[in-house]
A and B are shown apart, each in its own frame.
Chain A
């Protein structure tokens, strides 16, 4: 359904994927060796076990946006180092090199199955998709643009949470993004939140959880505290599927868990409910 979507974006391959060579890849789920071509054609979902490997922001945009329709916005907004935090500048540079992006999120407009939307997608390869001031600003600008144009907005999260290196300013992005989400909520502008692997902590506890509809990818790690902290904290043993998309679905925190190859179609059905008729 998304022919050529990966071919256009080969460069930003996922890092933790154990690549044997160009022709072969190893699945992070079942450890099976797969034909790279089959794997890519299957949207980086293991054809054997169904494990969903992470997508770069560009790959996900290619997956969701109709061909040639994505127009990036606010690309000039990037991180500063307001605290003079140890090693932050190095980490930002590494994030840029790892992801090929200037910041941990890309935002813009596109059509999705013909429906005009605002689309923002995080990239885990840029400092774990963490939210500092620049990410917060870009999320808010995307929401404000959606409000102004009365366009539905889809945000795909992948993030370890608030970015430690900007201290309290990162924490405040949680409030800032929810402030913009509040405006969308009051104005009745649809906001669809897509949780992908992993969506954690400060991002899950802010804009990612206040979508009108919350969709998750199968097997995605979705939770508040790191697993270690969660387990230390209590005598109760976590279930085997703790903090997965399926766990969150079971506990009522997610509306739908959607396999990647159906994500675009499901989004179009959801968006049409809000915008069509």
Chain B
């Protein structure tokens, strides 16, 4: 079942009409090509119109769109010869975090990302993309491996949050995230992170400390989900659209605050309408940002990573 968001419905109707005309052409041999072309022009115009005025809440829904490409979809297109590696060597293997060795245009890289599931069974196996401590520890283990052999790290961020359950608490979810934040800051190889869907708070940040942070056009990045924010602010999760507005969670906002370095464009109508093209755009962005980082000395690389984070934040000086 394809999911159609409310604001996508006019497009879906046009798509159905175009399909019907194509069927008539095929079945009855009647030439409807002119009508089809006209409808397709309408469709594109409508898409442009709708996507020009998306609200932050629309973008939140797009970032969570069930047909949106996930980390493994991007890996398949962007990299060659991906060898997935498993486990944190301490407790287990977390299905919500995948990682492994891969080649980006003939250059070896370590790829790590949060992974959501498509069907019910896979969603459960992936825990809806919510990583447990062993997921963050697996990610860190692979980063150390990359560092040992001088391979850069690329991470894909797509999680509603870190797993908040009792088990995760028992195994130190906070410690696992905090350690990653500190260790990624010190890693001696370049790190590029791409927010491809939901950048859910500390759970996202736990694999997203990087020299360059890229963010897809319709991804979101937030300190709290809009529903949670609305529940706290107005005791009403239904006011999530307002909260999404207030939280400034869009890619453009993140760029403005210096949290991300580039917004990576998506195909018209969002990545889910053309996953291949979306992956190509991400690949081009990676190829643009990674090579200059690989030319830096370790000292310079880490110093500029520190400065990047050191300067984040907006505060003021008290008048007195």
* Closest chain B residue to A193, Cβ basis: B178
A85 & B246 in contact (Cβ 8 Å cutoff): yes
- Among B256-313, those with CB < 8 Å from A are 257, 259, 305-306, 309-310, 312-313
Residues of B within 8 A of A166 (CB): 223, 314
Contact with A along B164-207 (1 / 0, CB 8 A): 11111111111101110111011000000000000001100110
In Å, the complex CA distance between A79 and B181 comes to: 24
**Cβ of A221 to closest chain B Cβ, rounded Å:** 12
In this complex, the interface size class of chain B, counting residues with CB under 8 Å from chain A, is 35 or more
In Å, the complex CA distance between A133 and B223 comes to: 13
In Å, the complex CA distance between A5 and B205 comes to: 40
In this complex, the interface size class of chain A, counting residues with CB under 8 Å from chain B, is 35 or more
Option from B164, B170, B247 in Cβ contact (under 8 Å) with A229: B164
Residues of B within 8 A of A202 (CB): 201-202, 223
**Cβ of A27 to closest chain B Cβ, rounded Å:** 27
Residues of A within 8 A of B305 (CB): 179
Residues of A within 8 A of B201 (CB): 162, 171, 202
- Among A101-146, those with CB < 8 Å from B are 102, 132-134, 136-137, 140
Residues of A within 8 A of B163 (CB): 233
**Cβ of A168 to closest chain B Cβ, rounded Å:** 5
In Å, the complex CA distance between A76 and B317 comes to: 5
Tell me if B157 is interfacial: C-beta within 8 Å of chain A.
no
Tell me if B156 is interfacial: C-beta within 8 Å of chain A.
no
In Å, the complex CA distance between A186 and B315 comes to: 28
Among A87, A133, A168, A225, the one with the most B-chain Cβ atoms within 10 Å of its Cβ is A168
Tell me if A77 is interfacial: C-beta within 8 Å of chain B.
yes
A210 & B166 in contact (Cβ 8 Å cutoff): no
Say yes or no: A82-B178 contact (C-beta < 8 A), given A175-B209, A224-B173, A234-B166.
no
Tell me if A182 is interfacial: C-beta within 8 Å of chain B.
yes
Say yes or no: A179-B171 contact (C-beta < 8 A), given A168-B254, A205-B178.
no
Contact with B along A212-249 (1 / 0, CB 8 A): 00000000000111000111011011100011000100
Tell me if A172 is interfacial: C-beta within 8 Å of chain B.
yes
Residues of A within 8 A of B65 (CB): none
Residues of A within 8 A of B165 (CB): 230, 233-234, 236
Say yes or no: A133-B314 contact (C-beta < 8 A), given A164-B223, A224-B162, A253-B172.
yes
Among A78, A179, A205, A208, the one with the most B-chain Cβ atoms within 10 Å of its Cβ is A205
B202 & A205 in contact (Cβ 8 Å cutoff): yes
Among B162, B232, B259, the one with the most A-chain Cβ atoms within 10 Å of its Cβ is B259
Tell me if A170 is interfacial: C-beta within 8 Å of chain B.
yes
A136 & B318 in contact (Cβ 8 Å cutoff): no
Say yes or no: A230-B164 contact (C-beta < 8 A), given A136-B313, A174-B202, A253-B172.
yes
In Å, the complex CA distance between A204 and B316 comes to: 25
A210 & B316 in contact (Cβ 8 Å cutoff): no
Residues of B within 8 A of A183 (CB): 306
In Å, the complex CA distance between A252 and B172 comes to: 8
* Closest chain A residue to B224, Cβ basis: A164
B169 & A225 in contact (Cβ 8 Å cutoff): yes
B247 & A83 in contact (Cβ 8 Å cutoff): yes
B169 & A243 in contact (Cβ 8 Å cutoff): yes
Tell me if B118 is interfacial: C-beta within 8 Å of chain A.
no
A179 & B202 in contact (Cβ 8 Å cutoff): no
Contacts A174-B178, A251-B171 known; list 4 others, CB within 8 Å: A163-B223, A171-B202, A179-B182, A225-B169
